[in-house]
């Protein structure tokens, strides 16, 4: 029987996070992003960026979490990165203060396709929500490619909704549309006898 859990990323996880990112993007986004862009992504460069994100986050509320599948051996199978919303979370033309200081932004939430449908995405999201609560964040946003049905379906199945914001990323002179989703961070439930 396999078990899964989530933990904070460690510096030594950076290479696996980069590998998972590349493997997932090359499968999930093969019909969304230009093939030569996906083929030319540099795993070592991504690993250095993930190492920096783990070792030197912009704030204590910026976190990288990893999902682990544990059977006879343990495998890193997914990851999530989030922090307080910044300019990257804004839609084109939105004022800098549109999202407010109590909003979290998910920058990455990926589970390697071969490990999908085993609860890892849900565990990553639940762990992130717990941390957002600790940080006093009451809402979260995430951008998803318009053509990424799997991510959109996963998020909407957990209560996220489209908020009407859209943008297009310029990926090697190809505009790739994205939509923004949002969700309220539910307050922690207080036991009835308190």
141-158 pLDDT, tens digit each: 999 999 999 999 999 999
Inter-axis angle of helices 14-28 and 43-55, to 10 degrees?
A: 130
Beta strands in 9-126 (DSSP E): 63-70, 74-84, 103-111
CA angle 101, 86, 55 (to 5 degrees): 105
By the 8 A CB rule, do 2 and 117 touch? no
- Residue 60 clears pLDDT 50, i.e. is over it: yes
How do residues 100-115 score in pLDDT, each as one tens digit? 999 999 999 999 987 6
pLDDT category of residue 193 using cuts at 50, 70 and 90 = low
Strand, helix or coil for residue 194? coil
DSSP class of residue 192?
A: T
Residue 91: both structure tokens together: 């839609």
Q: What is the DSSP string of 123-183?
A: HHHHHHHHHHHHTT--EEEEEEETT-HHHHHHHHHTT-EEEEEEEEEEETTEEEEEEEEEE
How deeply is 131 buried, as exposed, middle or buried, from its count of CB atoms within 10 A (0-12, 13-18, 19+)?
Answer: middle
């Amino acid at each position: 029987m396999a078990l899964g859990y989530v933990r904070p990323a460690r510096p030594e996880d950076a290479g696996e996070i980069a590998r998972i990112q590349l493997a997932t993007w090359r499968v999930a986004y093969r019909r969304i992003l230009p093939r030569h862009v996906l083929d030319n992504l540099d795993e070592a460069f991504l690993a250095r960026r993930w190492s920096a994100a783990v070792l030197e986050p912009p704030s204590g509320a910026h976190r990288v979490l990893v999902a682990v599948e544990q059977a006879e051996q343990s495998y890193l199978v997914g990851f999530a990165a989030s922090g307080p919303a910044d300019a990257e979370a804004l839609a084109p033309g939105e004022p800098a203060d549109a999202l407010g200081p109590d909003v979290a932004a998910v920058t990455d939430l990926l589970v390697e396709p071969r490990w999908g449908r085993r609860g890892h995405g849900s565990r990553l999201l639940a762990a992130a929500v717990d941390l957002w609560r600790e940080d006093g964040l009451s809402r979260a946003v995430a951008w998803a490619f318009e053509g990424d049905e799997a991510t959109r379906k996963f998020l909407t199945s957990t209560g996220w909704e489209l908020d009407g914001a859209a943008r297009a990323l310029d990926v090697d002179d190809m505009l790739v549309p994205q939509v923004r989703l949002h969700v309220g961070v539910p307050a922690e439930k207080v036991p009835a006898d308190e």
